[in-house]
Amino acid sequence: MRTITAQEVKKMYPPRPVQSRKYDHGLMLVIGGSEYYTGAPAIAAFAGFRAGLDMVRILAPKRAADIIASFSPVLAAYGLDGSHIEKKDVSFLISRTMAAKEIARGNVSILIGNGLGRDEETQEAIKEYLAAIDLPCVIDADAIYAVAERPEIIVGKPFVFTPHSYEFFELTGKNVHGLPQEEKIELVKQEAARLQTTLLLKSHIDIVSNGSEVILSKTGTPYMTVGGAGDSLAGILGALLARGIAPLEAAAAAAYINGKAGELATKKFKDGLIATDIIEEIPHIIS
């Protein structure tokens, strides 16, 4: 077990070669949003850009996609029919995923779950989609609940889950709230081994494990309980995965970057902190 350091994170951002091309530093596909939840995919996308991505594409129900696209000219959002993602959308999502992999020359990641909602059909669509792909993927928020019903679809795939304590309970059936730190660490390690995946348990000390190794991140502040802070973490993680960083190291680095950016933002805003304040500090951590 070890704690990730600033030096390790810096090594993930070497100077770019003079002849760099678009997509050399990653394309992230964000699948999220619903009729009532439009901000989460946008926050994740902005965080991904600030964490070094060359491009983000968002796939969301039409109302959410239209709102997201209006936030900034850098956000590319494709609108799906309906108020939420349905099973009929799965084949299109898969085809767009394979197209993203091809255009990015393999430098691709997926982020799924942010703002999707827990409509029964949406949850079924998530499971069907994840069962069909085998690319680096961040599974966050509402997608965690879907996988909890069919954990066999994730075995051995380069996926990373980013649960808080209640989502961890939904995924594993194990309650970590209030446990001593040593017991939390051991439980995260055990469950990562059982599920054959990488887990990032969000807490005051973030715990990352792939079932054999454990890395801690001790950055962050109590002011980061604000809505959207988890979406920014997910976006940073997606950026690192798209840049070719292995899941365990990417998860630990994302937790460090998000927490350290939150520390800088907290110095300015304290109780007035919002998620976009965290995002604006990301370049100061990675540069």
Residue type for position 3: T
Annotated ligand binding at 204? The verdict is no
SS (H, E, C) 197-252: CEEEECCCCEEEECCCCEEEECCCCHHHHCCCHHHHHHHHHHHHHHCCCCHHHHHH
Q: Which two tokens stand for residue 61?
A: 């129900």
Q: Is 231 annotated as a binding residue?
A: yes
Is 283 in contact with 50 (CB distance < 8 Å)? yes
Three-state DSSP class for residue 53: coil
Q: Label residues 18-53 b or e (16+ Cβ within 10 Å = b).
A: eeeeebebbbbbbbbbbeebbbbbbbbbbbbbbbbb
Q: Tell whether residue 177 is among the known ligand binding residues.
A: no
Helix (H) or strand (E) holding 93: helix 90-103
Residue type, 209: S
Asked if residue 115 belongs to a known ligand binding site, the reply is yes
| H or E stretch at 169 | helix 165-172
Name the binding residues for (6S)-NADPHX. 40, 115, 164, 231
Name the binding residues. 40, 115, 164, 230-231
Name the binding residues for AMP. 230
